[in-house]
Structure 1
Amino acid sequence: MSKFLADPAPDAAFWSEQMTRVAADADVDCFMRIYDHFAPRLKRYLLGQGIAPAQAEDLVQEAMLRLWRRARSFDGSRASLGTWLFRIARNLHIDSLRRGASATAWPDDVELLQDDEDGELGTSGPEAFTDHVGLGRAIDALPVAQARLIRMSYLESKSHSEISNELGMPLGSVKSTLRRAFAKLRRGLGGEA
């Protein structure tokens, strides 16, 4: 059994080091460790967004290809590798929806997110906040209903329809409450309103 397989839970520093080796030396072994760990997680996330399995697989492959090509733009001091990769996958999904006829299926708050044109993690999407120490406090400072919806949507990756069904809340109310909550959260974390 390899040392990597014996380690049950590599931490953010481990993954940052793997990315450093990919960026500096095009280290295929490090890339494969990253791929083996994150690809299944990305696929589960995308499937949870209601994406067809074949499309989810394509988006995972594209996300991993971007990781390889843009490894030098990764900055472990700004975000964990997981956050960076999930942001890439989410942006690829948004781009595919914009190109396809199903663009209306994406939540209305998509305009609040910043595209990842340079492969660098922006600061306006919910994934950008996950590395901030104050995220929990900022969410807790929201009204209870807004905090619950933020957690369900962005941290549990539930769709607006799933939240609506689970809470017995009209879909339009879920969307508008999330938009207001997200704006307050951004202000609470020092972002633009």
Structure 2
Amino acid sequence: MRRVRDAQDRAAFAALFDHFAPRVKAFLIKSGAEPSVAEDCAQDVMVTVWRKAHLFDPTRASVATWIFTIARNRRIDLLRRDRRPEPEDLTWGPEPEPDQEDILELQQATDRLSAAMATLPEKQKALIEQAYFGDLSHREIADLTGIPLGTIKSRIRLALDRLRHAMG
């Protein structure tokens, strides 16, 4: 791995690939991936190992740990992508007018959300507003505010939990 990292040694990478690609594929299959998906994902993991070799730090993790962490993260990405719903077929023409009952329920829910938002600590409230009303990603909020990404995620998670409880 050090030869790959330091000198982009193709022969060293070939040896790494021969050793780890089948193991990554087996790991992905055991975690529930179809064999063809596991094969593609393992290839992608090994490409990432080549492209990101400069980031490998033997003081932080072993080669196997580093590669299998990449594989685990790639598997999580695939699961998230697979869980996304397909867009519904769009109907043509104007949408029907909502019922008065639906309008009242929506207004009441909006009022409850406003009241719940008002109870949040200011730091959490600001992050929720940026993430959900400002449509910013967690990374964009971190870059904008200078707050570490992990702190952003923790505060948003705590705020959402408080809102969930407040909304019933």
Calculate the TM-score normalised by the size of structure 2.
0.49
More helix by share: 2
Calculate the TM-score normalised by the size of structure 1.
0.43
